[in-house]
Amino acid sequence: PTVIGLDDYRPSDHLADTIHLDILLHPTATRIVAETAFRPNPAGRPGAPLVLDGDELRLCGIELDGQPLPAEAFEASPQGLTVLAPPQRPFRLRVVTEVDPTANTKLMGLYRSGGIYCTQCEADGFRRITYALDRPDVLSVYTTRIEADESEAPTLLGNGNPGEAGAIPGTGRHFAIWHDPFPKPGYLFAVVGGRLGKVSKPFTTMSGRPVEIAVHVEPGKEPRAEYALDALERSMRWDEEVFAREYDLDVFNVVAVSDFNMGAMENKGLNIFNDKYVLASPETATDSDYANIEAVIAHEYFHNWTGNRITCRDWFQLCLKEGLTVFRDQEFSSDQRSRAVHRIGEVRTLRARQFTEDAGPLAHPVRPNQFREINNFYTATVYEKGAEIVRMLKTLLGEADFAAGMTRFFETCDGTAATVEDFLDAFAAVSGRDLSDFARWYVQSGTPVVTVRTEYDPAQARYRIDLTQETPPTPGQAEKGPLVLPVALGLVSPTGAAIAADCADLRPDGVHVMAGSRASLIFENVRERPVPSLFRGFSAPVKLRLDLGDDDLLALLEHDSDPFNRWQAAQMVAMRLLVGQATSESGTPVEASLLRLALALGRVLVVESERDPAFAALLLSLPSETEIAQEIGSDVDPDAVHRAWLAARGTIGTVLAADLAAIRAATEPDGAYSPDAASAGRRALRNVALDLLASADPAFGEREADRQLAAAGNMTDRLAALAVLSRIPGDTRERALARFAEDFAGEPLVLDKWFGIQAAIPEPGTLDRIHGLTSHPAFSFTNPNRVRALVGSLALANPTQFHRADGAGYAFLADIVLMLNGSNPQVAARLLTAFSTWRTVEPGRRANAESQLKRIAREQNLSPDVSDIVARSLS
Ligand code: DPP
Ligand code: ZN
């Protein structure tokens, strides 16, 4: 595949001001008549041919200004259409194409999901519907007429506002016309046709515009769409209150479909969702499903401004809409829930996914400078690290300048296809600051490592913190420069008293801005040896190397005023002993250290399990096996990591048994299920307690989980119990799994959880079990959710079995990747990224992984998606 570079950008030679589409829906032969008003772009090359993108298209007709275009005037293939000498003035091109939505297994362009016609056009899907200037900086006003059999597709939805609609007498067909007044790139185009039920309500915007907001789902599932509708309403209100952003059309429609490559898509006025992020009922969805629905609904809605009203000049600017919109949805969720708890969740995700990506062969800058396949750049780096950059910008500038910068960005860039520079310029303009050093965050890949040394001089009552930062080399970037790091920090007395920070280099809000590779902070009038609390709230996405002993860290756990760092301190103690245990270079007295941690957690729990149960649940959650492996960094033995992890949980469960039992007794469910954060927090704590008790005493765990399973009145408690049981081999487990499958036989999204739990069992029999499940009637390789639940859980949530020493896990994943390479390359490529840690495992496993990667690389007819990932993984 060809490499596309950021520096290659040049404006389109032509513009497309309006596009009129007539879409005649048919299961296997949908016709698309596209009439586009083109004109030469004053910024383009005069006299250039009109080069339109296409992908697997069949051309059925072409006219220019009402005249058939003679064969010698154009060149056409399924992959493109070129008008060789287009007029040097505005002209209209009418192109007729035909596509087969039923055969479209790639789920890009127009396809069918469970009988519903739907589209996915980001990034390059519009060219699978009609020939077009399919690039984000060509914005057009779309008018779309959709026609279909009334019996097959009673609901017809498009972008923008609804216009004329009606039956076509005598044909059994009907039509609907939609007009979107906002110019947009093709990737935001969408249509939907199908038999759908809906829930809706009126919404009045802050300036008084009446809007109908609606969520459309499979008929019969309407009650399960109420939560999504509620989350949408709250998102719309929040964006008005916090960012003064108002909705701009008469309707806002969300449609849920079962077959979807990603989470959801922000098409203008017509968001299309993976039904996993819409449908929820207490019986079928867990607390985290509810939280995810809220977050994804908000995310896609917020794109209406950050993505749609202001779009991206080119795909290298993807983080401009994604990082910013993730930041916005994180802020929304933090306001709706507990900010500290949410922040910890964000950081856990960042570390598990983005730090892993940044440490391996797929590392890339938040704004990449080249790509072969853009679909492979919808990554944790672009999204999650992109959001961290916006968060740092806010910390750096402070609330007021950040808010002013956002307003300026909205005002100056509205209606344009913008760049990261445009975004930063808005903040530079309002604050008068030079952000050129800060901009390095967008172009430099890799996770900075900050090493801290501290020194206390009691005679001078002086305390000194030395910080150095270094970013390790990443593919294509051997040399790294220093990054601008907002370091939020404070001093804590080991006995709990706060210590006033008398330091000239600290802002009044407790932030030191570190701009070079090293910094020294001197604190005066420090009367006792303090413990430093650094990067409070995770103020910068760095790895911290801190020379603190367990006692100091446990003092932070107990006394720091920053909840994030309290949690972080416990994680650091745990990580140190887990790594020691797993690498058995254990000069550290692991048991004693573990005991101290457990006892400290016990003390903290007394207060926290009442004050903030969700926070208490997080305190009790050890670093994941993925994080431990990442911390070890090389020659990792996943079995040793797993053993260390199990043993630590067992010890904590044993030491805290009485406290955990008391927590369970105090959090018995009372009354009806409510998905609110406080109730969810109590369930989380209760279920973590069960998990730890079961680690300490599997026989007890089995009985208790079985009891909870039988009594559970909601999916959260049911699934938590099933997960605990799944790790305790025996008849009880098998009966529980069988029963669950019967109870939820007609519920694909619930069965995904069941597939996922089984695929994550850390036992040698799991691979056979997964093989068996691929022929389960509810499983299908054509549905991305099913594949992710079963195969994705093995690859991403079951380190010991994916990284089996005999290589069978790798071989299995490689087989699936090759099978999906042709039918759904995006899903195949995504699964393949699980190999990205292959160089960090011990030599035997490493050789097995490499041979599977090479086997994939040798295959003929690799999709651009898979070939790009495999090539970068091996490079
Ligand atoms: N733009 C989508 C989202 O992240 C992904 N295709 O919202
Ligand atoms: Zn997004």
Whose alpha carbon is nearest atom 3 of ligand 1?
265
**pLDDT per residue over 191-221, tens digit each?**
999 999 999 999 999 999 999 999 999 999 9
- Residue 246 domain flag: no
Q: How far is the CA of 298 from the centre of ligand 2 (A)?
A: 10
Asked if residue 528 and residue 418 are part of one domain, the reply reads no
Whose alpha carbon is nearest atom 5 of ligand 1?
265
Provide mean pLDDT across the span 358-382: 98
Q: Which ligand is nearest to the CA of 324?
A: 2
Q: How far is the CA of 327 from the centre of ligand 2 (A)?
A: 10
Whether ligand 1 lies within 6 angstroms of the CB of 265 is answered as yes
CA 515 to chain centre: 29
Asked if residue 419 and residue 476 are part of one domain, the reply reads no
**pLDDT per residue over 498-518, tens digit each?**
798 899 999 999 999 999 999
DSSP state of 259: -
Whether ligand 1 lies within 6 angstroms of the CB of 122 is answered as yes
Q: Could you tell me if 250 and 210 are in contact, meaning their C-beta atoms sit under 8 angstroms apart? A: yes
Strands 50-53 and 498-499: unpaired
What confidence tier does 497 reach under pLDDT thresholds 50, 70, 90?
confident
The enclosing domain of 358 has a CATH number of 1.10.390.10
Which atom of ligand 1 approaches the CA of 122 most closely? Answer: 6
| Res 743 pLDDT > 90 | yes
User: In angstroms, rounded to a whole number, what is the distance separating the alpha carbons of residues 410 and 239?
Assistant: 13
Asked if residue 431 and residue 318 are part of one domain, the reply reads yes
What confidence tier does 604 reach under pLDDT thresholds 50, 70, 90?
very high
User: How is residue 605 written in tokens?
Assistant: 């729990």
User: In angstroms, rounded to a whole number, what is the distance separating the alpha carbons of residues 459 and 526?
Assistant: 10
- Average pLDDT of the chain to the nearest whole number: 97
Provide mean pLDDT across the span 750-777: 98
Looking up tokens 């457990």, which residue turns up? 598
The enclosing domain of 553 has a CATH number of 1.25.50.10
Asked if residue 481 and residue 343 are part of one domain, the reply reads no
- Please say which residue of 540, 574, 606 terminates a domain: 540
pLDDT of residue 701: 98
Strands 116-120 and 14-24: unpaired
User: In angstroms, rounded to a whole number, what is the distance separating the alpha carbons of residues 116 and 124?
Assistant: 21
**pLDDT per residue over 58-98, tens digit each?**
999 999 999 999 999 999 999 999 999 999 999 999 999 99
| Res 1 pLDDT > 80 | no
Asked if residue 11 and residue 154 are part of one domain, the reply reads yes
Percentage of residues in the chain having pLDDT higher than 90: 98
Residue 104 gets the label, from left (phi > 0), alpha (psi -120 to 50) or beta, of: beta
Provide mean pLDDT across the span 43-60: 98
Residues paired with residue 254 on neighbouring β-strands, in sequence order: 215, 271
Name residues whose C-beta falls within 8 Å of residue 825's C-beta, 6 or more positions apart in sequence.
Answer: 106, 375, 863, 864, 865, 866
Percentage of residues in the chain having pLDDT higher than 70: 99
Can you give the pTM of this predicted structure? 0.99
Q: Which 3 state secondary structure label does DSSP give 323?
A: helix
| Res 592 pLDDT > 80 | yes
Strands 311-312 and 417-418: parallel
User: In angstroms, rounded to a whole number, what is the distance separating the alpha carbons of residues 847 and 606?
Assistant: 49
CA 117 to chain centre: 25
| Res 16 pLDDT > 60 | yes
Q: How far is the CA of 383 from the centre of ligand 1 (A)?
A: 9
Residues with active-site annotation: 300
- Residue 348 domain flag: yes
Asked if residue 464 and residue 408 are part of one domain, the reply reads no
User: How is residue 127 written in tokens?
Assistant: 């060219």
Whether ligand 1 lies within 6 angstroms of the CB of 382 is answered as no
Strands 251-257 and 270-274: parallel
Q: How deeply is 264 buried, as exposed, middle or buried, from its count of CB atoms within 10 A (0-12, 13-18, 19+)?
A: buried
Q: Which ligand is nearest to the CA of 387?
A: 2
Provide mean pLDDT across the span 282-309: 98
| Res 587 pLDDT > 80 | no
Asked if residue 495 and residue 586 are part of one domain, the reply reads no
User: In angstroms, rounded to a whole number, what is the distance separating the alpha carbons of residues 766 and 10?
Assistant: 52
- Please say which residue of 508, 540, 572 terminates a domain: 540
- Please say which residue of 389, 421, 443 terminates a domain: 443
Give the amino acid at 364. H
Provide mean pLDDT across the span 45-52: 98
The enclosing domain of 518 has a CATH number of 2.60.40.1840
pLDDT of residue 670: 86
**pLDDT per residue over 625-640, tens digit each?**
999 999 999 999 999 9
User: How is residue 388 written in tokens?
Assistant: 């961290």
User: In angstroms, rounded to a whole number, what is the distance separating the alpha carbons of residues 805 and 844?
Assistant: 7
Whose alpha carbon is nearest atom 1 of ligand 1?
265
**pLDDT per residue over 214-250, tens digit each?**
999 999 999 999 999 999 999 999 999 999 999 999 9
Q: How far is the CA of 266 from the centre of ligand 1 (A)?
A: 6
Whose alpha carbon is nearest atom 6 of ligand 1?
265
Q: Which 3 state secondary structure label does DSSP give 365?
A: coil
What confidence tier does 169 reach under pLDDT thresholds 50, 70, 90?
very high
Name residues whose C-beta falls within 8 Å of residue 82's C-beta, 6 or more positions apart in sequence.
Answer: 49, 50, 51, 52, 74, 75, 76
pLDDT of residue 585: 62
Asked if residue 146 and residue 185 are part of one domain, the reply reads yes
Provide mean pLDDT across the span 669-682: 95
| Res 766 pLDDT > 90 | yes
Give the chain's domain count.
5
- Residue 533: give the domain boundaries: 449-540
**pLDDT per residue over 296-329, tens digit each?**
999 999 999 999 999 999 999 999 999 999 999 9
